[in-house]
Amino acid sequence: MGPSKTIEICFVCLGNICRSPLAEGVFQHLVNSQKLQEKIIIDSAGTGNWHAGSPPDRRMESTARKKGVRLASIAQQFQPGDFRRYDLVIAMDRSNLQSLEYMCSPEVAEKKLKLFRSFDPQANGDLDVPDPYYGGQSGFEDVFEIVNRTCPQILEYIKTRF
């Protein structure tokens, strides 16, 4: 069973070329496999604007493609007004969560903002999805594993809350 209404979700990282496009792609793949694409609209954005208009990082895109996931997003910057559009905004790390909290009221933050790894069954207190941008290929693989195991938990949350 899916959500009772159409909801919009946005994954947010720093530049919107690595972690959040991957979360968007993996989550879209999951939503499509459960035939919920008419009920759950998925997007991603960055708190920074320096990659706006760019496709996902080629290393992240390659990692996802090898796992059967297509990344189709174009980088954009999250704006304060976006809180009106999205029902759920999920930050990929605490730094981005803090940036997002500055953009909204405490009431909106309480209702709409979540930290991605707060859904990760293997987080063990580490609530940041590491940024693989400056590292090697293994960092992209590690981020894929975190995102892939966490997205089903987020979908279950949505099914029970919306």
- pLDDT(14) > 80: yes
> Is 87 in contact with 158 (CB distance < 8 Å)?
no
CATH number of the domain at 25, please. Answer: 3.40.50.2300
- The answer to whether residue 18 sits within a structural domain is yes
Look at residue 136 in the predicted model and tell me its pLDDT: 87
For all residues of the chain together, what is the average pLDDT? Answer: 96
Please tell me which residue in 13, 18, 104, 151 is annotated as part of the active site: 13
Do the domain assignments include residue 96? yes
Q: Taking 70 as the threshold, does the pLDDT of residue 111 lie above it?
A: yes
Q: What's the domain count of the chain? A: 1
* Residue 81 belongs to some domain of the structure: yes
pLDDT band at 83 (very low <50, low <70, confident <90, very high): very high
**Assigned domain for 2 exists:** no
Query: Is residue 131 annotated as a catalytic residue, yes or no?
Result: yes
* Angle, vertex CA 97, rays to CA 3 and CA 95, nearest 5: 150
Q: Is residue 88 part of a domain?
A: yes
Q: What are phi and psi of 74, to 5 degrees?
A: -120, 130
Catalytic residue among 19, 57, 93, 120: 19
At 1 the pLDDT is 59
Task: Grade residue 4 by pLDDT with cuts at 50, 70 and 90.
Answer: confident
Which pLDDT value is given to residue 2? 73
Region 124-134: mean pLDDT is 95
d(CA 85, CA 9): 9
The answer to whether residue 94 is catalytic is no
Provide the residue range defining the domain that includes 120.
Answer: 7-161
Residue 65 forms part of a structural domain: yes
1 occurs within a structural domain: no
Contact assessment for residue 73 and residue 16, using Cβ atoms and an 8 Å cutoff: yes
- The predicted pLDDT at position 29 comes to 97
Q: List the catalytic residue out of 10, 117, 131, 151.
A: 131
**Would residue 18 show up in a list of annotated catalytic residues for this protein?**
no
**Does residue 92 belong to any structural domain of this protein?**
yes
Taking only the tens place, the pLDDT of each residue in 36-79 is 999 999 999 999 999 999 999 999 999 999 999 999 999 999 99
Mean pLDDT of the 130-148 span: 95
pTM to 2 decimals? 0.97
